[in-house]
């Protein structure tokens, strides 16, 4: 039985989206599956906004695939394209679709969208690091950002009421954290995040 998690609309998401798909394949069809996945990734690379794709296996039959686009609009263009629809139809007798998830939150920072190797995974498939590790990495990025902005803005905003002061600070901190500093810190702590 197929399960599909509702996809966010363009209005709900203004940033990168990671799509996580679970498919089941007979063990004897492993080489065909690898070729099929490679063909799909090669096609997706030609679409604007493509950020990467990867896959892992858990057990003999389950394949967990990820692909990532920089916006909902670019993802829609890929997902509705005739090329992708033909590619999906070409594996109708090869794969059984199990689940699709759209990830829009913090867990997208912890995916490995540019990986392109096949490797065995623990039963249950790939998972994000524990929440406490995610929270630690976010704090490691947030604390120096908050401290620096408080120090740098205090000569200008020291006498402002609390709400405008926090508003300006968060307007500056959010893009810095989202696009630069948090991805850097996540890469820096990558081994620790993946360790058991």
**Tens digit of each residue's pLDDT (9 = 90 or more) over 139-193:** 888 899 889 988 898 888 888 888 888 888 888 888 888 777 877 888 788 788 7
- pLDDT, tens digit, 9 for 90 and up, residues 115-145: 332 333 333 434 567 778 888 888 888 899 8
User: What pTM value is reported for the model?
Assistant: 0.51
| pLDDT greater than 50 at residue 96 | yes
Tokens 């867990």 -> residue = 107
Domain ranges of the chain: 3-121, 131-194
Among residues 180, 110, 108, 182, which one has the least CA distance to residue 139? Answer: 182
Among 118, 107, 98, smallest CA distance to 37 is for 118
- Please check whether residue 143 is in contact with residue 195, taking contact to mean a CB–CB distance below 8 angstroms: no
Going through 26-157 in order, the beta strands assigned E by DSSP cover 50-58, 62-69, 95-103, 120-121
As a CATH number, domain 3-121 is 3.30.70.100
């Amino acid at each position: 039985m197929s399960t599909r998690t509702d996809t966010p609309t363009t209005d709900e998401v203004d940033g990168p989206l990671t799509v996580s798909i679970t498919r089941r394949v007979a063990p004897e069809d492993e080489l065909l599956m690898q070729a099929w996945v490679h063909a799909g990734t090669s096609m997706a690379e030609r679409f604007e906004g493509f950020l990467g794709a990867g896959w892992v296996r858990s057990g003999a039959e389950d394949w967990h695939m990820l692909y990532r686009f920089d916006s909902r609009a670019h993802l829609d263009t890929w997902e509705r394209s005739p090329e992708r629809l033909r590619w999906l139809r070409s594996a109708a007798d090869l794969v059984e679709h199990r689940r699709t998830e759209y990830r829009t939150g913090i867990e997208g920072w912890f995916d490995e969208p540019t990986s392109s190797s096949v490797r065995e995974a623990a039963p249950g498939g790939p998972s994000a690091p524990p929440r406490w590790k995610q929270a630690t990495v976010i704090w490691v990025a947030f604390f120096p950002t908050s401290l620096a902005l408080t120090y740098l803005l205090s000569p200008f905003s020291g006498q402002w009421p609390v709400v405008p002061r926090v508003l300006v600070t968060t307007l500056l901190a959010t893009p810095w954290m989202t696009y630069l500093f948090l991805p850097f810190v996540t890469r820096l702590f990558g081994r620790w995040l993946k360790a058991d």
